[in-house]
Structure 1
Amino acid sequence: MTMDELFARRPTTWGLRGDPRLWEAMRERLRGTELPAGFFAVRALLERTFTELTGARPDELVGQDDTVYRPELATGSGMSDGHVSLHYWKFTALPILLDRWAAAVGHMER
């Protein structure tokens, strides 16, 4: 299994309009990358990829309304177009990916 497979099922809800585009950008960036064996390694990889694509660090304190605008994530519609919710990624999207990694690694160890 590779990192991009963790992104196969998209969340049913998003924070802002740029979030689904970032999800796909991260999936493409990590395509073919083997799953790291350790939790801290996979977390570091996800956080580094997030930072490379957004310029923001998910380990910093974020408020409910904190966002970052990335023009490459814009589609041309809506008020939050191209905006990424830092709160959503820190407390929802990244934990989803870490849970999927844990399930995949646990499954592979059996």
Structure 2
Amino acid sequence: MRGERSVARLFAEEPLSWGLRGDPYLWRAMAAHLAHTPWPATAQQLEALIVEAFEQLTGSAWSSAGHFFVEAFAHGGMSSGGISMVFWHEHGLPLLRARWAQA
């Protein structure tokens, strides 16, 4: 991951599995949103950037529990537009932190 040093680089490879059907659309939206964001110096700065982008793009608090619906990420299907907080708390953010630490 050396070379390109924007936060969006952490999103280049998508996870193998998701929580709900809106999660991959949010993942891609976060990558675009953070495309010109400079590389953070600390893991805490990275987490703050991720949380801020998440809240701006979903209109929901990072501290939300369970799941919620975001119209912008609804593209058809039963759980379309659904955002899983379990995915983001237990898989998404830890994956991004691990990629940052390895870069």
Q: TM-score, normalised by structure 2?
A: 0.90
Report deviation, 1:61.
Answer: 6.2
Secondary structure of 2:68's partner? strand
Residue matched to 1:74: 74
**What CA distance in whole angstroms lies between the structure 2 residues aligned with 1:38 and 1:87?**
24
Q: CA deviation at 1:78?
A: 1.4
2:34 is aligned to 30
Q: 1:39: how far off?
A: 1.3
Distance apart, 1:68 and its partner CA: 1.4
| Partner residue of 1:39 out of 25, 40, 43 | 43
Q: Which of the two has higher C-alpha Rg?
A: 1
Q: Conserved in 2, the CA contact under 8 Å of 1:54 and 1:68?
A: no
Q: Could you list the runs of 5+ residues in structure 2 that have no partner in the other structure?
A: none
Q: Answer yes or no: is 1:91 the counterpart of 2:90.
A: yes
CA contact (8 A) 2:64 2:85 kept: no
RMSD of aligned C-alpha atoms? 1.1
SS at match of 1:44: helix
Contact 2:11 2:96 in 1 (8 A): yes
Would the aligned equivalents of 1:69 and 1:82 in 2 still touch at CA under 8 Å? yes
User: Which digits, 9 at most, give the CA deviation of each residue in 1:25-73, with x for residues without a partner?
Assistant: 0000000211110111111010111111112222x263xxx11111111
Distance 1:95 1:68 in 2: 20
Please, what TM-score do these two structures have when normalized by structure 1?
0.85
Separation of aligned partners in 2, 1:61 and 1:79? 21
Contact 2:74 2:80 in 1 (8 A): yes
Secondary structure, counterpart of 1:68 in structure 2? strand
Q: Structure 2: which amino acid aligns with 1:87?
A: V
The number of residue pairs the alignment matches comes to 99
